[in-house]
Chains A and B, each alone.
Chain A
Amino acid sequence: MSNWKLICKLDDIPQLGSRVVQRQSGGDIAIFRNAEDEVFALHDKCPHKAGPLSQGIVHGRKVTCPLHGWNIGLEDGHAVAPDVGSCGKFEVKVEAGDVYLLA
């Protein structure tokens, strides 16, 4: 059963940056924070060739993969056209400066 888990403080994630959450199974999750302090979570695996999205550059509501520069939408995990593909997304919320992940 998945439930909300406390991950870290919002300030533990740099603005326009990310942190990696390692799970015991199912692969890493990347948690992003943008300039407006919105927080998003995606599977840390680019739909192109599995690049670690957590290491990319965050801008607006997108992250650019560090390996070959695909842009992935943070809200839905879909690659921005003309590229096609998507990666799994996870529910996250921020309450009182704490970040929770539904996993």
Chain B
Amino acid sequence: MSKPRLVLIGNGMAGVRTVEELLKIKPDHYDITIFGAEPHPNYNRILLSPVLAGEMGVKDIILNELDWYAENKITLHTGKQIKTIDRVNRKVVAEDGTEEYYDRLLIATGSTPFMLPIPGNDLPGVIGYRDIKDTDEMIDAAARHKHAVVIGGGLLGLEAANGLKLRGMDVTVVHIGPWLLERQLDEVAGKMLQKSLEDKGLKFLLETQTEALIQGESGRVAAIRFKGGMQIPADLVVMAAGIRPNYTLAEKSGIYCNRGIVVNDTMQTYDPKVYAVGECVSHRGIAYGLVAPLFEQAKVAANHLAGYGIGRYTGSVTSTKLKVTGIDLFSAGDYMGGKDTEEIVLNDPHGGVYKKLVIKDNKLVGGVMYGDTADGPWYFQLLKDQRDIHDIRDSLIFGQNLVGDVGHAGNSKAAEMADSAEVCGCNGVTKGTIVQAIKAKGLFTLDEVKKHTKAASSCGSCAGLVEQILASTIGGAYTPAAVDSKPVCGCTDHSHKKVREAIFGQHLTSKEAVFKALEWKTPNGCDKCRPAVNYYLISSWPHEAKDDPQSRFINERAHANIQKDGTYSVVPRMWGGLTTPAELRAIADAAEKYKVPTVKVTGGQRIDLLGVKKEDLPAMWADLNAAGMVSGHAYGKSIRTVKTCVGAEHCRFGTQLAMSMGVKLEKMLFDMYAPHKVKLAVSGCPRNCAEAGIKDVGVIGVDSGYELYIGGNGGIKTEVAQFLCKVKSDEEVMEYSGAFLQLYREEGWYLERTCHYMDRVGLDTIKSKILEDEEGRKAYYARLLDSLKDAKDPWATSREEQPIKQFIPIKLEA
């Protein structure tokens, strides 16, 4: 039986992306034929601006080489414009007579520049700015002529003007609006932008209307005349006054159009055999002109073309970034505001920084940033996530750093960084390498950048910076997914949230059941999703779901930390940082017996024995167990330590018994697995010698009881813990901190530290569940105690229950 035929009209960004998505989820389903009016394979249209500016060449922006079409058995007709769609006979006809029959048709004809209806608009030298041909024409004109006029002070117009200026032309931008980019910026930001572009040598005529274009002796355009009679020379006129969805072909064939091809939420037109995506489409009355929404459309269309029928496109919020080197500008959502909105504004004309945030019902609905856009992606994320911002409102305008992050996650301004600057410290990746990969390989998402450059793929602390580099390189084409909906990994389209809901809601208790119920794309997941799924299983169904050691990272499987030479480190637990001479003697004996090369005091108030051979681990643990010591879980996404100061037991300032409080907490939490590692500290007075301010839960003794702080972090991203509440007794410390940790265990996503969890849901949400709802708090606390009721020392059980084979190498004789 032959396969159904899919024909794509329009070999551009949205159409080809749809085909790529389709091939990903259902390869070999269709015989695919693509018609493109341009003589090129699919290229990255948004990078025409850097091509014009001379920063890149045409071949650098090709997204799909001809080989790609061949490998995927796609028949490609370049340079062939489709003239007719014959819906009765289900075929398309190109201008040269080529015909092709279809079972499904996908229309992605993009849009065309709007040419102002004025005399002379068809003269040689008058062009739009849309494709490689236009770009070549501008480059050519710049080499031979002097005066350029760009009509339209929008994103496209300014990028064209900047490019022509860089190529040596004298450029004037004519704009009808009162300030530049009035569809992206408010007046203040628009004026600041104009000032910096003027500093680069561009000229502007605002609130000016063009009346006619005047022909010169050569036959080419020579001048432009405005209303009121003013006239200036022009050898090249670029019309960038807007785009028109290109739907004439569809309309002629009788498909319903209304300022675009009208589609429903599945990207289907009024003819059920015909789908449409991209700029030619009108979805819920909106035609989008940026690639990010078009890519979302592509994903939905592909899913329906594949016959899966899941997924709806419901529209997008877009953000913009001007791709003019050296200018930092970002805008998103409703940046103008209105009657029922409030505004927070920071204006520093001297420093060249302007920020405006528009807030409605305690949520960010839009914003404009000029001069300092480092926080743009962060604001955009808050906006998309609909995060309640009232707890961070005071410092919101100062950006993510002041809200908490003082690490290097977003500190430097991506656009200003030198190419040689290191972005990812773990893998030694520079900004230049990342920009290069984004451009050369056509990358659009953080995941793609991670895959191709390794940046942000280890500790992840530079992810924010990489996102900023993405945004400044590809402009508005970059949209972060709402965190709630980011897929766990390449093995599935489901988010952490969905996976956990399914495990809980459908009572799934094994990874096989999860992979089946959620239609995992790989047979047994990967190193990213398996540990996550395993954690969700054992935390949702304690005592019921069976832990799968093969889904755990080696450290948790071997109950020790792997070191760079393949040896392991052993850290016995010292409750609350307390030890005894007998324990120290046993540690010393073990260190000698197993020839431990390095003995070190850790940052968590205990002793680390480094450089142990894996095969020696079981015997060494047995020796330590015999002396009464147990695993310190220094290797796990689990409770690590409870640091303490000497407290009122000895200290002359102490108000509370910090050591005994610490020991109680550590015993309560023993063997607790969590989304990520968990560290606590207890100090006996506000001098806080145990550094409780940077712990997941910090407890500080005061005269009348204890203060509890949560969500601190001393690691990659130093976060100061936030005040949760004050309690009176040791029992309350255990109940409140236990309840908070259980909440985190139930709601935190795998590998999300408490600080990130808190950042995501907001301190108020946590307070409402832990402080205001007494019954809820007690229930969380009870669930924590229940899931830890049969906690065992993994060192002891590894000897008694599990086969210890993993520790025993097979020796090959001879």
Name A residues whose Cβ lies closer than 8 Å to a Cβ of B.
Answer: 5, 7-8, 12, 14-17, 19-24, 28-29, 31, 34-36, 49-52, 55-60, 62, 64, 66-69, 71, 82-83, 101, 103
> How far, in angstroms, from A103 to B553 measured CA to CA in the complex?
29
Please provide the chain B residues from 424 to 481 with a CB less than 8 Å away from any CB of chain A in the complex: 427, 451-454, 457-458
Contact A60 B553 (CB under 8 A): no
Which A-chain residue is minimally distant from B512 (CB atoms)? A35
- The answer to whether the Cβ of B791 comes within 8 Å of any Cβ in the partner chain is no
Task: Establish whether residues B527 and A5, one from each chain, have CB atoms under 8 Å apart when the complex forms.
Answer: no
Q: What is the bound-complex CA distance between A66 and B558, given in angstroms?
A: 12
B524 at the interface (CB under 8 A from A): yes
**Contact between B553 and A57, CB atoms less than 8 A apart:** yes
Of the listed stretches B205-213, B374-382, B805-813, chain A binds B805-813
Say how far A81's CB is from chain B's closest CB, in angstroms: 9
Tell me if B810 and A20 are in contact (CB < 8 A): yes
- Could you show 20 A-B contacts with beta carbons less than 8 Å apart? A5-B812, A7-B810, A14-B805, A17-B806, A19-B810, A20-B810, A22-B809, A24-B814, A35-B523, A36-B523, A51-B566, A55-B554, A55-B557, A57-B527, A57-B530, A57-B550, A59-B526, A68-B427, A82-B452, A103-B812
Other-chain residue from B458, B523, B525, B554 in contact with A68 (beta carbon distance below 8 A): B458
Are A22 and B812 neighbours in the complex by a CB distance under 8 Å? yes
> A60 CA to B813 CA in the complex, in Å?
31
Does B713 reach chain A (CB closer than 8 Å)?
Answer: no
Given A17-B550, A69-B457, the answer on whether A60 and B524 have CB atoms closer than 8 Å is yes
Q: Are A69 and B562 in contact (CB under 8 A)?
A: no
The interface residues of chain B lying within 8 Å CB-to-CB of A71 are: 526-527
Could you tell me if B809 and A15 are in contact, using CB atoms closer than 8 angstroms? no
Cβ of B144 under 8 Å from chain A: no
CA separation between A67 and B810, bound complex, in Å? 23
Q: How far is the CA of A35 from the CA of B458 in the complex (A)?
A: 27
The CA of A23 and the CA of B809, in the complex, are separated in Å by: 10
Known contacts A24-B814, A28-B809, A103-B812; A59/B564 CB under 8 A = no
Decide yes or no whether B89 CB sits under 8 A from chain A: no
Task: Give me the 7 closest cross-chain CB pairs, A-B, nearest first.
Answer: A64-B527, A16-B550, A55-B554, A52-B566, A57-B527, A66-B554, A20-B809
**Chain B interface category by residue count:** 20 to 34
In the assembled complex, B218 has its CB within 8 A of some CB on chain A: no
- Cα A57 to Cα B558 with chains together (Å): 12
A35 to B523, CA, bound (A): 8
A24 touches B812 (CB 8 A): yes
* Residue of B454, B524, B805, B814 touching A12 (CB-CB under 8 A): B805
Q: In chain B, residues 623-650, which have Cβ atoms closer than 8 Å to a Cβ of chain A?
A: none
Nearest chain B CB to A88 CB, angstrom units: 15
Quick check: A35 and B524 within 8 Å, CB to CB?
Answer: yes
A22 touches B451 (CB 8 A): no
Task: Tell me whether B551 is interfacial, beta carbon within 8 Å.
Answer: yes
Q: Cβ of B549 and Cβ of A14 under 8 Å apart?
A: yes
Cα distance, A31 to B810, chains bound together (Å): 10
Contact at B553–A66, with CB atoms within 8 Å? yes
Identify the closest chain B residue to A68 (Cβ).
B458
Cβ–Cβ contact A19 & B805, under 8 A: yes
Interface residues of B in 516-570 (CB under 8 A from A): 522-527, 530-531, 549-551, 553-555, 557-558, 562, 564, 566
